[in-house]
Structure 1
Amino acid sequence: MVAAGSDNTAEAKSRFNAALEEAKAGAAALKTEAGERAKAYRQQATERGDDWATEVKQYGEQAKGKAGELATEGKGKVAEALSALGKAVFDTAPTVDDKLGAKYGDYARTASRSLQETSAKLDAKSVDELGEDARQFVRKSPGLAVGIAAVGGFLLARMFRGRKD
Protein backbone atom coordinates (compact mmCIF):
# COMPACT_ATOMS: atom_id res chain seq x y z
CA MET A 1 0.00 0.00 0.00
CA VAL A 2 2.81 2.31 0.68
CA ALA A 3 3.93 1.91 -2.89
CA ALA A 4 0.46 2.88 -4.16
CA GLY A 5 0.40 6.06 -2.03
CA SER A 6 3.87 6.95 -3.24
CA ASP A 7 2.81 6.42 -6.84
CA ASN A 8 -0.21 8.69 -6.35
CA THR A 9 1.96 11.41 -4.80
CA ALA A 10 4.51 11.12 -7.58
CA GLU A 11 1.74 11.24 -10.18
CA ALA A 12 0.13 14.26 -8.47
CA LYS A 13 3.49 16.07 -8.37
CA SER A 14 4.09 15.21 -11.99
CA ARG A 15 0.66 16.53 -13.02
CA PHE A 16 1.10 19.65 -10.85
CA ASN A 17 4.52 20.33 -12.43
CA ALA A 18 3.07 19.78 -15.90
CA ALA A 19 0.20 22.19 -15.16
CA LEU A 20 2.68 24.71 -13.74
CA GLU A 21 4.84 24.47 -16.86
CA GLU A 22 1.74 24.84 -19.04
CA ALA A 23 0.67 27.93 -17.06
CA LYS A 24 4.17 29.42 -17.42
CA ALA A 25 4.10 28.77 -21.17
CA GLY A 26 0.63 30.35 -21.41
CA ALA A 27 1.79 33.39 -19.42
CA ALA A 28 4.84 33.75 -21.70
CA ALA A 29 2.61 33.53 -24.78
CA LEU A 30 0.25 36.16 -23.33
CA LYS A 31 3.22 38.40 -22.53
CA THR A 32 4.51 38.09 -26.08
CA GLU A 33 1.07 38.79 -27.53
CA ALA A 34 0.57 41.78 -25.21
CA GLY A 35 3.97 43.16 -26.24
CA GLU A 36 3.10 42.81 -29.93
CA ARG A 37 -0.27 44.50 -29.43
CA ALA A 38 1.31 47.31 -27.41
CA LYS A 39 3.88 47.83 -30.17
CA ALA A 40 1.09 47.94 -32.77
CA TYR A 41 -0.89 50.42 -30.66
CA ARG A 42 2.20 52.61 -30.15
CA GLN A 43 2.84 52.61 -33.89
CA GLN A 44 -0.80 53.47 -34.59
CA ALA A 45 -0.73 56.27 -32.02
CA THR A 46 2.49 57.65 -33.50
CA GLU A 47 1.03 57.61 -37.00
CA ARG A 48 -2.16 59.33 -35.82
CA GLY A 49 -0.12 61.85 -33.87
CA ASP A 50 1.94 62.62 -36.96
CA ASP A 51 -1.25 62.98 -39.01
CA TRP A 52 -2.74 65.33 -36.42
CA ALA A 53 0.46 67.37 -36.27
CA THR A 54 0.37 67.74 -40.05
CA GLU A 55 -3.28 68.81 -39.93
CA VAL A 56 -2.57 71.31 -37.16
CA LYS A 57 0.27 72.80 -39.21
CA GLN A 58 -2.02 73.09 -42.22
CA TYR A 59 -4.75 74.78 -40.17
CA GLY A 60 -2.13 77.09 -38.66
CA GLU A 61 -0.92 78.12 -42.10
CA GLN A 62 -4.49 78.68 -43.26
CA ALA A 63 -5.25 80.76 -40.17
CA LYS A 64 -2.08 82.79 -40.65
CA GLY A 65 -3.01 83.47 -44.27
CA LYS A 66 -6.57 84.44 -43.35
CA ALA A 67 -5.34 86.69 -40.52
CA GLY A 68 -2.99 88.41 -42.98
CA GLU A 69 -5.85 88.95 -45.41
CA LEU A 70 -8.10 90.34 -42.67
CA ALA A 71 -5.34 92.61 -41.38
CA THR A 72 -4.71 93.98 -44.88
CA GLU A 73 -8.42 94.48 -45.42
CA GLY A 74 -8.76 96.21 -42.04
CA LYS A 75 -5.78 98.44 -42.79
CA GLY A 76 -7.40 99.48 -46.06
CA LYS A 77 -10.69 100.27 -44.37
CA VAL A 78 -8.97 102.36 -41.68
CA ALA A 79 -7.07 104.27 -44.35
CA GLU A 80 -10.33 104.91 -46.23
CA ALA A 81 -12.05 106.03 -43.04
CA LEU A 82 -9.23 108.44 -42.18
CA SER A 83 -9.30 109.82 -45.69
CA ALA A 84 -13.07 110.29 -45.56
CA LEU A 85 -12.82 111.95 -42.17
CA GLY A 86 -10.09 114.28 -43.48
CA LYS A 87 -12.27 115.20 -46.44
CA ALA A 88 -15.26 115.83 -44.17
CA VAL A 89 -13.17 118.07 -41.91
CA PHE A 90 -11.83 119.95 -44.94
CA ASP A 91 -15.34 120.39 -46.32
CA THR A 92 -16.53 121.88 -43.01
CA ALA A 93 -13.56 124.28 -42.71
CA PRO A 94 -15.39 127.14 -44.55
CA THR A 95 -18.33 126.78 -42.16
CA VAL A 96 -15.92 126.91 -39.22
CA ASP A 97 -14.38 130.06 -40.77
CA ASP A 98 -17.80 131.70 -40.90
CA LYS A 99 -19.01 130.67 -37.46
CA LEU A 100 -15.85 130.63 -35.32
CA GLY A 101 -13.28 132.58 -37.29
CA ALA A 102 -10.46 131.99 -39.75
CA LYS A 103 -8.07 130.84 -37.02
CA TYR A 104 -10.29 127.85 -36.19
CA GLY A 105 -10.91 127.16 -39.87
CA ASP A 106 -7.13 126.94 -40.32
CA TYR A 107 -7.01 124.43 -37.44
CA ALA A 108 -9.64 122.36 -39.26
CA ARG A 109 -7.65 122.50 -42.54
CA THR A 110 -4.45 121.51 -40.71
CA ALA A 111 -6.26 118.61 -39.05
CA SER A 112 -7.67 117.62 -42.43
CA ARG A 113 -4.19 117.59 -44.01
CA SER A 114 -2.84 115.52 -41.10
CA LEU A 115 -5.64 112.99 -41.52
CA GLN A 116 -5.06 112.80 -45.28
CA GLU A 117 -1.28 112.35 -44.81
CA THR A 118 -1.80 109.70 -42.15
CA SER A 119 -4.21 107.90 -44.44
CA ALA A 120 -1.68 107.96 -47.29
CA LYS A 121 1.14 106.71 -45.03
CA LEU A 122 -1.06 103.95 -43.66
CA ASP A 123 -2.11 102.89 -47.14
CA ALA A 124 1.50 102.86 -48.37
CA LYS A 125 2.82 100.58 -45.60
CA SER A 126 2.40 96.84 -45.33
CA VAL A 127 0.88 95.19 -42.28
CA ASP A 128 4.33 93.89 -41.30
CA GLU A 129 5.80 97.40 -41.48
CA LEU A 130 2.94 98.72 -39.34
CA GLY A 131 3.56 95.97 -36.80
CA GLU A 132 7.25 96.85 -36.64
CA ASP A 133 6.38 100.56 -36.25
CA ALA A 134 4.08 99.66 -33.35
CA ARG A 135 6.82 97.58 -31.69
CA GLN A 136 9.29 100.46 -32.03
CA PHE A 137 6.74 102.89 -30.57
CA VAL A 138 6.19 100.63 -27.56
CA ARG A 139 9.96 100.30 -27.05
CA LYS A 140 10.45 104.07 -27.22
CA SER A 141 7.41 105.06 -25.13
CA PRO A 142 6.14 102.14 -23.06
CA GLY A 143 4.25 104.39 -20.63
CA LEU A 144 2.41 106.17 -23.43
CA ALA A 145 1.65 102.81 -25.10
CA VAL A 146 0.15 101.45 -21.88
CA GLY A 147 -1.88 104.64 -21.46
CA ILE A 148 -3.22 104.43 -25.01
CA ALA A 149 -4.06 100.75 -24.52
CA ALA A 150 -5.86 101.54 -21.26
CA VAL A 151 -7.91 104.34 -22.83
CA GLY A 152 -8.70 102.15 -25.85
CA GLY A 153 -9.74 99.29 -23.59
CA PHE A 154 -11.91 101.61 -21.54
CA LEU A 155 -13.61 102.94 -24.67
CA LEU A 156 -14.19 99.44 -26.03
CA ALA A 157 -15.61 98.31 -22.69
CA ARG A 158 -17.95 101.30 -22.59
CA MET A 159 -19.00 100.68 -26.17
CA PHE A 160 -19.80 97.00 -25.59
CA ARG A 161 -21.41 97.61 -22.20
CA GLY A 162 -23.71 100.14 -23.85
CA ARG A 163 -24.87 97.52 -26.36
CA LYS A 164 -25.92 95.05 -23.69
CA ASP A 165 -28.25 97.52 -21.93
Structure 2
Amino acid sequence: MGSAPTSPQVAEAKTRFNAALEEAKAGAMALRTEAENRFSNASGQAKAKSNDLLGEAKNYGEQARGKAGELAVEGKKVTTDAIASLGKVVGDTAPQIDEKLGEQYGDYARKASRVLQETSAKLDAKSVDELSDEAREMIRKSPGVAVGLAAVVGFLVARMFRGNRS
Protein backbone atom coordinates (compact mmCIF):
# COMPACT_ATOMS: atom_id res chain seq x y z
CA MET A 1 0.00 0.00 0.00
CA GLY A 2 1.13 3.57 0.42
CA SER A 3 3.47 4.93 2.88
CA ALA A 4 2.31 6.46 6.13
CA PRO A 5 2.11 10.26 6.12
CA THR A 6 5.14 11.93 7.40
CA SER A 7 5.18 14.56 10.01
CA PRO A 8 5.50 17.50 7.56
CA GLN A 9 2.51 16.13 5.59
CA VAL A 10 0.40 15.87 8.77
CA ALA A 11 1.38 19.39 9.76
CA GLU A 12 0.41 20.68 6.31
CA ALA A 13 -2.93 18.81 6.45
CA LYS A 14 -3.61 20.25 9.89
CA THR A 15 -2.75 23.72 8.65
CA ARG A 16 -5.05 23.37 5.65
CA PHE A 17 -7.81 21.91 7.84
CA ASN A 18 -7.44 24.78 10.34
CA ALA A 19 -7.44 27.30 7.48
CA ALA A 20 -10.59 25.71 6.03
CA LEU A 21 -12.17 25.70 9.49
CA GLU A 22 -11.32 29.40 9.95
CA GLU A 23 -12.69 30.15 6.50
CA ALA A 24 -15.90 28.25 7.32
CA LYS A 25 -16.24 30.17 10.60
CA ALA A 26 -15.71 33.47 8.78
CA GLY A 27 -18.29 32.45 6.16
CA ALA A 28 -20.76 31.47 8.89
CA MET A 29 -20.15 34.77 10.66
CA ALA A 30 -20.68 36.68 7.40
CA LEU A 31 -23.94 34.77 6.78
CA ARG A 32 -25.07 35.48 10.32
CA THR A 33 -24.30 39.20 9.94
CA GLU A 34 -26.15 39.30 6.62
CA ALA A 35 -29.14 37.47 8.12
CA GLU A 36 -29.20 39.89 11.08
CA ASN A 37 -29.06 42.85 8.69
CA ARG A 38 -31.86 41.46 6.55
CA PHE A 39 -33.95 40.69 9.64
CA SER A 40 -33.30 44.17 10.98
CA ASN A 41 -34.30 45.74 7.65
CA ALA A 42 -37.42 43.58 7.36
CA SER A 43 -38.31 44.31 10.97
CA GLY A 44 -37.85 48.05 10.40
CA GLN A 45 -39.97 47.93 7.26
CA ALA A 46 -42.68 45.95 9.04
CA LYS A 47 -42.67 48.40 11.94
CA ALA A 48 -42.84 51.36 9.56
CA LYS A 49 -45.73 49.74 7.66
CA SER A 50 -47.45 48.96 10.96
CA ASN A 51 -47.07 52.59 12.05
CA ASP A 52 -48.40 53.76 8.68
CA LEU A 53 -51.43 51.46 8.96
CA LEU A 54 -52.01 52.52 12.55
CA GLY A 55 -51.89 56.15 11.50
CA GLU A 56 -54.35 55.52 8.70
CA ALA A 57 -56.67 53.65 11.07
CA LYS A 58 -56.55 56.53 13.55
CA ASN A 59 -57.25 58.97 10.74
CA TYR A 60 -60.26 56.95 9.57
CA GLY A 61 -61.42 56.67 13.18
CA GLU A 62 -61.24 60.43 13.60
CA GLN A 63 -63.13 60.95 10.35
CA ALA A 64 -65.80 58.45 11.43
CA ARG A 65 -66.08 60.10 14.85
CA GLY A 66 -66.46 63.50 13.19
CA LYS A 67 -69.10 62.22 10.79
CA ALA A 68 -70.96 60.49 13.64
CA GLY A 69 -70.91 63.76 15.58
CA GLU A 70 -72.30 65.63 12.58
CA LEU A 71 -75.03 63.02 12.11
CA ALA A 72 -75.89 63.14 15.82
CA VAL A 73 -76.26 66.92 15.72
CA GLU A 74 -78.34 66.64 12.57
CA GLY A 75 -80.51 63.92 14.14
CA LYS A 76 -80.99 66.01 17.27
CA LYS A 77 -82.12 68.95 15.15
CA VAL A 78 -84.57 66.81 13.19
CA THR A 79 -85.92 65.29 16.42
CA THR A 80 -86.41 68.64 18.17
CA ASP A 81 -88.09 70.05 15.06
CA ALA A 82 -90.39 67.02 14.84
CA ILE A 83 -91.35 67.26 18.52
CA ALA A 84 -91.98 71.01 18.18
CA SER A 85 -94.10 70.42 15.07
CA LEU A 86 -96.08 67.70 16.80
CA GLY A 87 -96.64 70.03 19.76
CA LYS A 88 -97.88 72.74 17.42
CA VAL A 89 -100.23 70.35 15.63
CA VAL A 90 -101.63 69.09 18.94
CA GLY A 91 -102.04 72.67 20.16
CA ASP A 92 -103.71 73.73 16.91
CA THR A 93 -106.24 70.88 17.14
CA ALA A 94 -107.16 71.67 20.79
CA PRO A 95 -110.10 73.96 19.80
CA GLN A 96 -111.53 71.22 17.55
CA ILE A 97 -111.15 68.73 20.41
CA ASP A 98 -113.00 71.21 22.66
CA GLU A 99 -115.91 71.26 20.20
CA LYS A 100 -116.08 67.52 19.49
CA LEU A 101 -115.08 65.91 22.82
CA GLY A 102 -115.37 68.65 25.41
CA GLU A 103 -113.20 71.27 27.03
CA GLN A 104 -111.55 68.79 29.41
CA TYR A 105 -110.03 66.84 26.50
CA GLY A 106 -109.03 70.08 24.78
CA ASP A 107 -107.15 71.04 27.97
CA TYR A 108 -105.34 67.68 27.84
CA ALA A 109 -104.31 68.46 24.27
CA ARG A 110 -103.09 71.94 25.27
CA LYS A 111 -101.08 70.47 28.17
CA ALA A 112 -99.61 67.83 25.88
CA SER A 113 -98.74 70.56 23.38
CA ARG A 114 -96.96 72.59 26.09
CA VAL A 115 -95.04 69.54 27.29
CA LEU A 116 -93.96 68.74 23.74
CA GLN A 117 -92.87 72.34 23.12
CA GLU A 118 -90.93 72.41 26.43
CA THR A 119 -89.32 69.06 25.68
CA SER A 120 -88.27 70.30 22.25
CA ALA A 121 -86.76 73.44 23.80
CA LYS A 122 -84.90 71.41 26.45
CA LEU A 123 -83.48 69.04 23.82
CA ASP A 124 -82.47 71.95 21.62
CA ALA A 125 -80.67 73.64 24.53
CA LYS A 126 -78.50 70.59 25.31
CA SER A 127 -75.49 69.36 23.41
CA VAL A 128 -75.34 65.88 21.93
CA ASP A 129 -72.69 64.96 24.53
CA GLU A 130 -74.97 66.05 27.39
CA LEU A 131 -77.85 64.06 25.94
CA SER A 132 -75.72 60.95 25.53
CA ASP A 133 -74.40 61.29 29.11
CA GLU A 134 -77.96 61.59 30.41
CA ALA A 135 -79.04 58.57 28.36
CA ARG A 136 -76.16 56.48 29.74
CA GLU A 137 -77.03 57.53 33.29
CA MET A 138 -80.70 56.70 32.76
CA ILE A 139 -79.78 53.28 31.38
CA ARG A 140 -77.50 52.63 34.38
CA LYS A 141 -80.24 53.59 36.83
CA SER A 142 -83.15 51.86 35.07
CA PRO A 143 -82.06 49.27 32.52
CA GLY A 144 -85.55 47.75 32.40
CA VAL A 145 -87.14 51.06 31.48
CA ALA A 146 -84.46 51.61 28.83
CA VAL A 147 -85.18 48.21 27.26
CA GLY A 148 -88.91 48.92 27.33
CA LEU A 149 -88.46 52.32 25.69
CA ALA A 150 -86.19 50.80 23.04
CA ALA A 151 -88.84 48.16 22.30
CA VAL A 152 -91.59 50.79 22.00
CA VAL A 153 -89.46 53.00 19.76
CA GLY A 154 -88.49 49.99 17.63
CA PHE A 155 -92.14 49.01 17.31
CA LEU A 156 -93.14 52.55 16.29
CA VAL A 157 -90.33 52.82 13.75
CA ALA A 158 -91.27 49.43 12.29
CA ARG A 159 -94.90 50.55 12.03
CA MET A 160 -93.86 53.77 10.31
CA PHE A 161 -91.77 51.93 7.72
CA ARG A 162 -94.39 49.23 7.23
CA GLY A 163 -96.96 51.98 6.69
CA ASN A 164 -94.78 53.63 4.03
CA ARG A 165 -94.57 50.43 1.95
CA SER A 166 -98.30 49.96 1.47
TM-score, normalised with respect to structure 2:
0.80
Alignment of 1:8-27 (within 5 A): 22-27=23-28
Over 3 Å counting, the alpha-carbon distance change for 1:57 and 1:137 in structure 2 is same
Task: Please name the residue that 1:82 is paired with.
Answer: 83
| Residue 58 of structure 1, CA deviation | 2.0
In 1, distance between residues paired with 2:82 and 2:5? Answer: 108
- RMSD (Å), alpha carbons: 3.0
Alignment of 1:139-150 (within 5 A): 139-150=140-151
- Corresponding position: 1:2 with 2:2: yes
Count of aligned residue pairs for this structure pair: 163
Task: Please name the residue that 2:131 is paired with.
Answer: 130
| Residue 55 of structure 1, CA deviation | 2.0
Task: Please name the residue that 1:31 is paired with.
Answer: 32
Q: Which moved more, 1:27-36 or 1:77-86?
A: 27-36
The one-character-per-residue Cα deviations of 1:41-92 (angstroms, maximum 9, x if unpaired) are: 1111111212222222222222222211111111011000111111111111
Gaps (5+ residues) in structure 1?
none
In 2, distance between residues paired with 1:51 and 1:63? Answer: 18
Amino acid at match of 2:89: A
In 1, distance between residues paired with 2:164 and 2:23? Answer: 78
The one-character-per-residue Cα deviations of 1:122-151 (angstroms, maximum 9, x if unpaired) are: 111111111121122223322211211233
**The residue matched to 2:153 in structure 1 has which SS?**
helix
**The residue matched to 1:2 in structure 2 has which SS?**
coil
Q: Which moved more, 1:91-100 or 1:12-21?
A: 12-21
In 2, distance between residues paired with 1:24 and 1:120? Answer: 84
Amino acid at match of 1:109: R
In 2, distance between residues paired with 1:127 and 1:110? Answer: 27
Gaps (5+ residues) in structure 2?
none
Amino acid at match of 2:2: V
